[in-house]
Structure formats: structure tokens, C-alpha cells
């Protein structure tokens, strides 16, 4: 029988953008979050490295009794979600992929831009989704080299981040894209600078809410939604710096949370 505890993980703090949306939709659900910041970024690692690193976290969540695991990372989803679903058939898995479909359906110029990691673009899910929903759309893709590291370092609102983003986004705008997809969960932390660059020239699309809705649907279908008001503390684990993780949790200061190390 499935447990109603949710596990959410990412290569670092980026998955907190997904975690936040899940909390909004399921405020009483017990949730564990794991940030593998020690091994971040995953975007340029081999598929096997990504699988090996993420499997340790999945095993940990299974040991903690999580009945649903959310892979809040496009890179990990591309590399390993099918593998995990086969290996752990008793667990519900929710993954991510760039929001190519909604971008393609909403574009007026017939041109969309996607900012993501190298492994995300090489993943089968991105390729198949692009071929299915955007075959008649001009898709400008850009690997976000260095962006994950900037977010992990707490520099998302810095001029360094602005200059790097401008280098990536300006060519998209020059090609008249009117939809820009954020294909990495770290990138929504860069929204302040992204909006400075993009203004009203394009719509920014990121899929965290859609992922959270999918989590809720699966829990409802399996009668796992918790309605009790005596919410357990949200527990956060990191393989990296606790102080860095706490910095990102400041915006959630109203929540009763615990932060712990997961031993490597």
C-alpha cells in the first residue's frame, strides 16, 4: 500500500520552485526535499552519472516511506525517470520536461525559445515532444551554461547573472520568439533579471505549477491526499551547504521546517 509522503529532489535548490507549488496545492501533505548541491550541476554529466547520483536519493526516499517521488529536474527526468518507474513499480514518479507543447500552442510569431541544460536537450522526451508538438514551429534552443551555478551561489539577482542571461536571451528576441521556456527548475530564480531583459517582448513559461497539479492528481487517484491540519514539519536534506539551503528557505520562513544533512 502506498504511503502519502512525498519526496521531491533536484541536483540542488532549483527544485524548490516545484516544491513551493506542491505546498500551495497540498498544504497538509508530508514532504521531504533533497538538494544534491554537492554534486551540482548535473546538466553536463553523463547519463550514467546522473542515474547513479539520483538513484541514491531515490533509495533514500523509498527508505523514508515516500509513496510518490517528484523528480524536480529536467536533466534527471531525461536520464532516469523511465528507469526508476521500472525498478520501483510500487512508487509513483512525477518527472519534468521543457514546456514545449504550451509554448508551441501559444506562439503568434511561430517562433519559440527554450533555455535548458545540455542533457535536457539531448533527452528522448525533449526530442519526441518537439517533434510531436513543434515540428512546424521554429525553435531556438540555448544551453544555459553557468546559470545553475549562479543560482546555487545565491547570485540570481546579480549583474553577473543579468549579463549572462542577456547573452543567451538577446539572440532569441532577435529571432522574434514570443514564448521563452525555462527548461531547468533553477531558472525561475532568475525571473527578476529575465523580466528586465525580455520586458513585454515574450512570455516566460515554466512548468512548476503543471508538475504540482500532476502530483495532486496522482495522490487523489490513489486516495493519498492528507487533509489533517496538524502538519508535520517540512524536512530538507542537502549533500552540500546547509547555510546555502537556509538562504533559499528564507522566503518560506512562515513554515515550520527542519534542515538536515544526508550522509554521503
- Most distant CA atoms of the chain, gap in Å: 53
Handedness of CA 186, 54, 99, 221 (dihedral sign): negative
Taking only Cα atoms into account, the Rg of the chain, rounded to an integer number of angstroms, comes to 18
Cβ atoms within 10 Å, residue 100: 26
Handedness of CA 64, 69, 73, 75 (dihedral sign): positive
Positions annotated as catalytic residues are 73, 184
Is residue 193 a contact partner of residue 157, using CB atoms and an 8 Å limit?
Answer: yes
φ, ψ dihedrals at 128, nearest 5°: -70, -40
Amino acid at each position: 500500500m502506498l504511503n502519502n509522503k512525498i519526496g521531491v529532489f533536484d541536483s540542488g535548490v532549483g527544485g524548490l520552485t516545484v516544491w513551493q507549488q506542491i505546498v500551495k496545492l497540498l498544504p497538509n501533505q508530508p514532504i521531504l526535499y533533497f538538494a544534491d548541491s554537492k554534486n551540482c550541476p548535473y546538466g553536463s554529466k553523463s547519463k550514467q552519472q546522473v542515474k547513479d547520483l539520483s538513484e541514491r536519493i531515490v533509495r533514500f526516499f523509498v527508505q523514508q516511506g515516500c509513496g510518490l517521488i517528484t523528480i524536480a529536474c529536467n536533466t534527471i527526468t531525461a536520464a532516469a525517470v523511465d528507469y526508476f518507474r521500472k525498478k520501483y513499480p510500487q512508487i509513483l514518479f512525477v518527472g519534468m520536461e521543457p514546456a514545449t507543447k504550451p509554448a508551441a500552442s501559444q506562439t503568434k510569431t511561430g517562433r519559440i525559445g527554450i533555455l535548458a541544460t545540455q542533457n535536457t536537450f539531448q533527452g528522448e522526451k525533449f526530442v519526441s515532444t518537439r517533434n510531436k508538438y513543434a515540428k512546424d514551429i521554429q525553435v531556438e534552443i540555448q544551453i544555459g551554461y553557468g546559470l545553475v551555478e549562479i543560482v546555487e551561489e545565491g547570485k540570481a539577482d546579480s549583474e553577473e547573472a543579468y549579463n549572462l542571461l542577456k547573452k543567451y536571451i538577446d539572440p532569441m528576441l532577435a529571432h522574434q520568439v514570443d514564448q521563452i521556456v525555462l527548461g531547468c527548475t533553477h531558472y525561475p530564480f532568475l525571473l527578476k533579471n529575465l523580466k528586465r531583459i525580455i520586458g513585454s517582448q515574450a512570455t516566460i513559461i515554466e512548468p512548476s505549477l503543471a508538475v504540482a497539479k500532476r502530483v495532486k492528481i496522482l495522490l487523489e487517484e490513489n486516495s493519498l491526499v492528507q487533509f489533517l491540519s496538524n502538519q508535520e514539519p517540512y524536512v530538507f536534506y542537502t549533500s552540500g551547504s546547509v547555510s546555502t539551503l537556509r538562504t533559499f528557505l528564507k522566503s518560506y520562513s512562515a513554515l515550520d521546517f527542519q534542515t538536515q544533512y544526508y550522509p554521503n
